[in-house]
Chain A
Amino acid sequence: MRAQFVLSEIGVGLRRNLTMTFAVIVSVALSLALFGGSLLLREQVSSMKGYWYDKANVSIFLCNKSEAQSGGSCAKGAVTEEQKKQIKADLDNMNIVKKVDYESAEDAYKHYQEEFRKAPIAGAVTPDQMQESFRIKLKDPTKYDVITSAFAQRPGVQQVQDQKQVLEPLFNLLNGMNYGALGVMALMLVVALTLIVNTVRVSAFSRRRETGIMRLVGASSFYIQIPFIMEAAVAGLLGGMLACVMLICGQHFLVNNWLAHHIDVIQFIGWGSVLSKLPMVLAVGLLMPALAAFAALWKYLKV
């Protein structure tokens, strides 16, 4: 195999179809950027899920003085020490409960101040506005309704909140976005593959004189096909690099410089996650067009 010969063939091929090559590069870049983006979004969702689900499964919020004034389930007044003890004892006796943590109003205030320290609302909140609560971990998180039916109507309990119920819509939205991105990616991928197949066909047709002679003098089909396959692979690799640049720009401008400043409560994925996806994006960018080219040539350049 003479590398110089193959390389010059690839160069000639890419230049000959400059517009087609450009189209291949752009469509591969877009589909791979969406591919990488959806991988990152998935990671973001799972890291958020882990973070939030780990914190608490079910919370029992207890009545404080200000809740008592607003009526509703707390109309009978703030929770008493008696009631709290009873709730704690009942929780400890339930075998579906793994762990119970008590959070006092002061603790809640502290956490609140930490979480929202940059937001202007933090200054306006006072400790006695905060609620005491029990944070309960369940052995089986789906059985939260047992807790709800046992404690929701008790005196001194303001609300039983399943944190999953609160977070689920958000995660559903993010998952929906992820599926949307995957769908668009699939369409772009079809476009990219069709373009590659077409480009390779045109390329093979415009060089049929050369390939015809190569066949006659006994060049192996590998030798005949490799310039076309490499051509597609080089275009795909360029597209993959472009996709990497898009992902890096997305992380830098969208996540680090914008989202992270505007949304405090979410821990966003960092550079490590982004960089770890790049080799995969490049590999797919290289292999996918090469395989498409190989498939396109399968019928076209028989011995």
Chain B
Amino acid sequence: MIRFDNVSKSYPKQNRPALRDVSLEIEKGEFVFLVGSSGSGKSTFLRLLLREERASHGQVHVLGKDLSRLSNWKVPQMRRQLGTVFQDFRLLPNKTVGENVAFALEVIGKPRGEIRKAVPQVLELVGLGGKEDRMPGELSGGEQQRVAIARAFVNRPMLLIADEPTGNLDPQTSVGIMKLLDRINRTGTTVIMATHDQQIVDQMRKRVIELEQGRLVRDQSRGVYGYQH
């Protein structure tokens, strides 16, 4: 599913590389927490998966493809098999909930009939059945994140990448979002979630990958957030 072979990434004008010699493998259907303090390389790790950046050294394989050899025009095709969720939801404020989800299908050219069927289905799945015509501004933070997850999942991706999806939410709402991600994971979708939320990581008992100053310092199945925290 995902394989990093001795991956390093340095940005121009920065002395310290963002990632240093990271090697790991993630199997299909896994649920993985990516933890580490700010600047530890979590974001770079996710950006490499999305092919927003290319590795400076080493190889990143996602869904069986070597991303360093993937030509630019094939990147969109690759991204259609990934779903992404962010801390700040990234919804379009002038479109309704339904339109926001449909947008993801429209811009990759899906036929209208298919969109009309898929959107209510996925909204039902994330627990927003019947809220299709609401505007994002009328919804709570938790509900907005559910819309974002619906948008990421509507195309049934093989891999869901979540960058601190609960970062803006209170603990109770976060639990709801985690249950939803867990449910999505159980459909066979691999989930990779970067987080600072100790409580969630400790509760879920999933695989934990910890980065520190760009190095992989811990890879533990059924792990907790950290020893020293």
Contacts and interface: CB of A to CB of B under 8 A. Distances in A.
A149 interface: no
Interface stretch (A174-182, A190-198, A205-213, A289-297): A205-213
Given A2-B106, A214-B107, A220 B92 contact: no
Given A212-B90, A216-B84, A303 B107 contact: no
A240 to B, nearest CB: 30
Contacts of A221: 72-73, 76
B75 A303 contact: yes
A220 B79 CA distance: 10
Contacts of B50: 216
Interface in A210-251: 210, 212-221, 223-224
Contacts of A1: 109
Given A2-B109, A217-B155, A210 B77 contact: no
Contact of B108 (A210, A218, A302): A218
B97 to A, nearest CB: 14
B103 A213 contact: yes
Nearest to A212: B90
Interface string B144-183: 0000000100010000000000000000000000000000
Nearest to A224: B107
Interface string A26-60: 00000000000000000000000000000000000
Contacts of A218: 76-82, 108
A216 to B, nearest CB: 5
Contacts of B79: 215-218
A257 B79 CA distance: 63
Interface residues of A, number: 19
B200 interface: no
Interface string A76-113: 00000000000000000000000000000000000000
A215 B112 CA distance: 20
B108 A219 contact: yes
A215 B47 CA distance: 13
Contacts of B112: 2
Interface string B53-79: 000000000000000000011011111
A220 B74 CA distance: 9
27 contacts: A1-B109, A2-B106, A5-B106, A5-B107, A209-B90, A209-B92, A210-B92, A213-B104, A213-B107, A215-B76, A216-B50, A216-B79, A216-B84, A217-B79, A217-B103, A217-B104, A217-B108, A217-B151, A218-B80, A218-B81, A218-B82, A218-B108, A223-B107, A223-B108, A224-B107, A303-B72, A303-B75
Interface of A: 1-2, 5, 209-210, 212-221, 223-224, 302-303
The 6 A-B residue pairs with the shortest CB-CB distance, nearest first, are A218-B80, A218-B79, A219-B107, A217-B104, A218-B76, A220-B76
